[in-house]
Amino acid sequence: MFVLILSPGKAAGADPFPKTIMPGVQQIGAIAHPPIAESSGLAASSQHPGVFWTHNDGRKKPVLYAISREGKSIAEFVITGTRMDDWEDIAADSAGNLYLADIGNNDAKARQPEVVQIAEPDPKSGSGKVTAKQRWTLQYPGKPFDAEALFVWQEWGYVISKVTQNKPASLYRLSLAPQTKPSALQLVARLPITSPVTGASLTTDGQKLAVIAKSGAWVFDINGEPGGIASAKMWHTRLQGFQIEGCAFTPDGLLVTAESREIFLFTDLPFRQPK
């Protein structure tokens, strides 16, 4: 006779998540959709609760994917009217717009990065095309640099540089007013982060800024003033061994995606967005 003994905790075949990875970090899911090979950016929908927007890294076909917080595929849309050379991040505003950050520059070569605005599509339609509404062509204020993090606040977009060799990251801004010619990024502040920055997210009220990097996640109490980040109160939760790339605030923590498909939730109290 064969006897199957089940532990009282979980039934056979039960979902293995959430799973504690380390103090303050849980894996709550994994990206299941095969075309999402390297989730590079993440933004919570401002129009559709429970929907998160992500995209592939680099020069892959410009497709926007809607997923759940556990990684379930919801919809996908092809972006038209623009060419994404090195798409690294995505951000949302409260007016129903998404901002696509074509700002990657691994070799720090001469190029003009761009930020592209689209109207947030309705994920209920399942698939379709979305055309760029507006675009901003940027110029480096000095030598070219790599960047993978974008967030928007009020009338500005903000870009954080990705640096190596234990140098501090820098915060730059760009006006989101209609553009008639390329504009130079404006240096705003230096960040107390020397780990290469890969993503950023701002709470809807502008009070907290999350920054993720090779060594984990930070949250800064900026109180609506990104320029004050250098002296802002901060919290750091370490996570190593994963290439984390995109992040978005949720009421119960900071949702983070990794290139290898894992979806993490940083649960320490400072990462929780006020309801």
What is residue 20's predicted lDDT score, i.e. its pLDDT?
96
For the CA atoms of 150, 84, 108, 148, the dihedral, rounded to the nearest 10 degrees, stands at 20
pLDDT at residue number 4? 42
CB 196 within 8 A of CB 213: yes
Predicted TM-score (pTM) of this structure? 0.92
pLDDT for the residue numbered 165: 83
Tell me how far CA of residue 28 lies from CA of 18, 56, 68, 213, 254, in angstroms. Answer: 4, 20, 11, 20, 12
What string of pLDDT tens digits covers the 275 residues of the chain? 444 443 444 444 556 889 999 999 999 999 999 999 999 999 999 999 999 999 998 667 899 999 999 999 999 999 999 888 899 999 999 999 999 999 999 888 888 999 999 999 999 999 999 999 999 999 999 999 999 999 999 999 999 999 988 899 999 999 999 999 999 999 999 999 999 999 999 999 999 999 999 999 999 999 999 999 999 999 999 999 999 999 999 999 999 999 999 999 999 999 997 76
- Nearest residue to 182 via CA among 271, 230, 113, 261: 113
* Distance between CA atoms of residues 258 and 243, nearest Å: 5
Residue with tokens 């075309």: 35
Cis omega (within 30 of 0) on the bond before 18? Answer: yes
**What pLDDT, on a 0 to 100 scale, did the predictor assign at position 83?**
83
CA distance 125 to 68: 15
Give CATH for domain 19-271.
2.120.10.30
The confidence score (pLDDT) of residue 10 equals 45
